Amino acid sequence: MRITDPIQTTGNLLSRRQFLKRTIAVSGIFAVPYIIPASALGKGGAVAPSERILMASIGAGGRGSSDLSWMIGEQDIQFIAVCEARKDRRDRAKNIVDEKYGNKDCVAYRDFREMYSERKDIDAVLIATGDRWHALLATLAMKAGKDVYCEKPGSMTIAEGQMLVATAKRYGRIFQTGTQRLSQANFVFAAEMARTGRLGKLHTLRAHTAGGSSYTSKTWLPAEPEPPKDEMDWDMWLGPCPWRPYNSRYTHGGWHGCYDFHTGCIGEWGSHTITQCLMAIPDHYNNVLEFEFPNNDSGSGLVISYPGDLKMILDATGWRGSCGNKVEGSEGWISVADGYERPEVSDLSLLKDFDKIVQDYMIANDRPMNHVRDFFNCVRNRRPTVSNPGMMHRSMSMVHAANICMWLKRNVKWDPVKQEFIGDPEANRLCSRAMREPWRA
């Protein structure tokens, strides 16, 4: 998207679109008539090339392929490059793009550094790798002048979140985390009912976490022969994590549950659901939080206490679908999760203004019920996304603080203003991890 990228000519500034039209008009005097497709001029509902946001994707596993297919349906988007450490996935991503556009123009890369070096025309990047790469790749992309849509979780540590927030601010980049339920009607409705006082005085929020143990393993899988680099670039796959021998299980989802690669069962869904809860209480971002150890291995039942009588509870049970959250107040409660046709409520009368409340939110905040569309709109108008760096970091700081509470098996207090645990050097040492050379910002 080079709308503001002018071409200098005889002291005047011409947009690419104007330059194209003048060139066509002049060449028509001297040349045989040339038929230009309507799509090239933005006719017939198509978007002219000069108006399109040029995209690249990094990571093409299940979620990456899904996001790529979702984004590629937007009329003003054009993917021009894909990047993946695994050749089979790299080829698959290129095929998705080429099939969509009916050509072979998409370029596939193994190394994102080569992609940035060769394709200076990339406006924005989709990042959908494993957790370990998210914050660093997003930071490097923003430093390279790209806007970023990055899958959750937005960070592996509190320090990574701080790095990402600072980079987005310094370089003036647009960033959206893939917490897509912030752009879905049921979840927006639940938050708006809480924010507008329709549930009365709030006292409890419940954030759904995945089942299983919150303790991630620090053991390594046994070494296997490493594939040729073009088939699987193991060093690139590992990224900033400590070196370990290759094992094919890691590259087929086996990285889940590993300390170096994963935020655990709290981060797996909590990176969504804590964010959804925070949408309901926007005035509580700067309060000191106490995390109460639940005396179990899963983290279910961990209580996050705000000043006063408001609390958030991590809960692995109680929903009929995944990634649920529940808001409880003095005048009633609302619960929602994936697959709900409408939210569950304490009284059906709470649903009577559902459509109006969602519509009012969309108009007042200029937000579509489409998460990637919100990102692309913000790339154009340069306003913060609904899941912007600050929102990502606030919610992920709570995920990381909850994990640290579980690892230490005791209560901790987190100060979001000072960005530190209060009087707790042991907890503060767990706020960051070393990044392996050369993979650092």
Kindly report, residue by residue over 250-265, the tens digit of the pLDDT: 999 999 999 999 999 9
The structural domains of the chain, with segments of one domain joined by +, span 1-47, 181-214+262-369+389-431
Contacts 24+ apart (CB under 8 A), 328-331: 328/199, 328/202, 328/203, 328/204, 328/205, 328/206, 329/194, 329/199, 329/200, 329/201, 329/202, 329/203, 330/199, 330/200, 330/201, 330/203, 331/198, 331/199, 331/200
Bridge-based pairing of strands 311-315 and 202-208 is parallel
The pair of structure tokens assigned to 405 is 């509470």
The predicted pLDDT at position 284 comes to 83
pLDDT band, residue 417 (cuts 50/70/90) = very high
Residue 47's Cβ-count burial label (10 Å; 0-12, 13-18, 19+) is middle
What does the pLDDT look like over 380-407, one tens digit per residue?
A: 999 999 999 999 999 999 999 999 999 9
CATH of domain 181-214+262-369+389-431: 3.30.360
Tell me the per-residue pLDDT of 102-149, one tens digit each, with 9 for 90 and over: 999 999 999 999 999 999 999 999 999 999 999 999 999 999 999 999
pLDDT at residue 223, as a whole number: 97
Residue tagged 């349906």 (tokens) = 73
Residue 242's Cβ-side half-sphere holds a number of Cα atoms within 13 Å equal to: 9
Q: What is the mean pLDDT of the chain?
A: 91
* CA neighbours closer than 13 Å in the CB half-sphere of residue 112: 27
What's the pLDDT at 2?
Answer: 40
Angle between helix 158-171 and helix 389-408 axes, rounded to 10 deg: 170
Place of tokens 């990456």: 64
